[in-house]
Amino acid sequence: MSGGVGPTCGDISLPKEEDEHEQHTKLTSDNTTKAVHPDTKRRALLSFRQLHSLVIIIVLSASGMVGLQDFAFLIFSAAYTFLLSKLVFPALPSTSPPAPIFDSRATKLLSIYVRAGAAIGLYLPILYILTGVFSGDKQGTRSAAPHVFLLAAQIFMEGIVFSGGFSIPVRVFVPVCYNSMRMFAIVEWLKSEIWKVGVADGGSTRRVAAGRGLAVANLVFWGFNLFGFLLPIYLPRAFRRYYSDVFKVKD
């Protein structure tokens, strides 16, 4: 996952993968004869986080809790991402590692932000879905599933664009695109929880309150992530760095 920073340039980054990326950057910067641009670094295997996300995608798909529109969006976003990487924002060759987008102090704060987003956006909703399956809350599980599915798909796609050496604008596009789509899914989730009539829908009063609180928390967090961080802060910095590299390549 990514929170707008880190190797995936996404909406919730992976602390473990950030450490690996920093080590790779250090090694390549120390090697003066074979310096490689991190954006063009390719990995052959999927990370554990990607495999975990893929399992979530498969399980939710097999359960029937995800609608056709979510599958269609996943396919469309993957195809559009590939076209962007080939026709609009190709990866740039470079002989030196790029300057970091954020300083070390901001990166530490963002790592905390990343972990909070992982808990609010993925782990707690998964727990909510699992408990809903055992308690018979079909409405609650079906309403929360699209958000979890799209977030898992986002994490998987972020890993693909990073390991595939895609340019930073393409890597930024993935979280912005998926975060925007998930806002609609979260709003539908919240509406479903608000109109739930309690025990008759398979949940206790406490579960209804928990579902509403979790939906509101996700709406607030991801709304801020999209409109308060990704669009006004991270996106301009990412494009500034990309076009700075373009000018360096031309010179």
Q: What confidence tens digit (pLDDT) does each residue in 24-33 have?
A: 444 334 443 3
39, part of any domain:
no
Q: Is 235 part of a structural domain of the chain?
A: yes
**pLDDT the model gives residue 44:** 46
What per-residue confidence (pLDDT) applies to 15? 45
Q: How many domains does the chain have?
A: 1
- Domain-embedded: residue 226: yes
Question: Which residues constitute the domain of residue 116?
Answer: 48-75+104-250
| Low-confidence residues of the chain: pLDDT under 50 | 4-44, 95
**Residues 6+ positions from 141 with CB-CB distance below 8 Å:** 65, 128, 129, 132, 133
pLDDT per position as a tens digit, 133-176 = 888 888 889 999 999 999 999 999 999 998 888 999 999 999 99
Q: Which of 121-127's residues contact partners 24+ apart within 8 Å by CB, and which partners?
A: 121/1, 121/12, 121/147, 121/151, 121/218, 121/221, 121/222, 122/1, 122/12, 122/148, 122/151, 122/152, 124/214, 125/214, 125/218, 126/56
**144 falls within a domain:** yes
Q: Flag whether 36 is in a domain.
A: no
Whether 229 maps to a domain, the answer reads yes
Residue 114 lies in a domain: yes
User: Quick one: pLDDT at residue 3?
Assistant: 57
In a domain, 2, yes or no: no
